[in-house]
Amino acid sequence: MPELPEVEVTRRSFADRIAGARVLALRLGKPLRWPLGCDPQTLVGREVRSVARRGKYLLLHLDDGLLLLHLGMSGSLQFAAHLPPAGVHDHFELVTSRGSLRLHDPRRFGAVVHARDLDDPVATKLLGGLGVEPLEAGFDPGRFHQALRQRRASIKQVLLAGDIVVGVGNIYASEALFRAGIRPTVRADRISRPRALRLHAAIVAVLQKALALGGSTLRDFSSAQGESGYFQLDAMVYGREGQPCRVCSTPVRSLRQGQRSTFFCPQCQKP
């Protein structure tokens, strides 16, 4: 699943190029996770003002209303002046005066939803429960620790929940916990303040590094310009089960948490 760095890399790859464009047409393929919520024809003539991000959602702000895009499990966006004919897995295309924005989503878990504004019940339902952005000033170390003290679930599951800090998905949670030296099975409320502060710093560092490397391309992720990410090549534990830890040479282990694979070093990450 594209995580926060991949979504932000995608946003940066087309936001400036589509800003100011006029919508000429909107084409829909097979149904996605949720319905668009409006007649596509009502968006023709609208101007794309800006592209923002909230968690893993991209927000296309129009001169009247906005579109919320989610890439789901396997979605990717492509933006270009000229695109080839739509394929069987291309389910949304916004044709504008500056190019076409197309969502390719083989599993159709992604979504494109229209809302009047950010106070629209549709938008608040999707965005209202999200935690703070980890790369913005609101991600405060002390408040992060206080929030962890209220949770009895494992720290990995708490990070994935997204209501304390948003966008730390499976790859980057495993990597951040490794940097902080914390076993992913540790209960969140048992993490001391010093360890929580290390985890806070690790989350920021891992996400910043992932952004610098263009995100992670594990299967078919690419930016809206068709560029792959390279963070996975530098991963310390994710996807490296049985391989030696890059720090201590102990074989990396994996386990299942909430139907997701977790990778950790039993030597470097303490219970």
SS3 readout for the chain? CCCHHHHHHHHHHHHHHHCCCEEEEEEECCCCCCCCCCCHHHHCCCEEEEEEEECCEEEEEECCCEEEEECCCCCEEEEECCCCCCCCCEEEEEEECCEEEEEECCCCCCEEEEECCCCCHHHHHHHCCCCECCCCCCCCHHHHHHHHCCCCCEHHHHHHHCCCECCCCHHHHHHHHHHHCECCCCEHHHCCHHHHHHHHHHHHHHHHHHHHCCCECCCCCCCCCCCCCEHHHHCCCCCCCCCECCCCCCECEEEEECCEEEEECCCCCEC
Question: Residue 193 catalytic?
Answer: no
Residue 54: strand pairing partners? 57
Question: Residue 5 catalytic?
Answer: no
Question: Residue 260 catalytic?
Answer: yes
Question: Residue 2 catalytic?
Answer: yes
Q: Which of 22, 27, 187, 260 is catalytic?
A: 260
Cβ–Cβ < 8 Å for 51, 14:
yes
Q: Which of 11, 46, 53, 56 is catalytic?
A: 56
Q: Which of 2, 106, 134, 184 is catalytic?
A: 2
**SS3 (DSSP) at 151:** coil
Cβ–Cβ < 8 Å for 83, 76:
no
Residues with a known catalytic role: 2-3, 56, 260
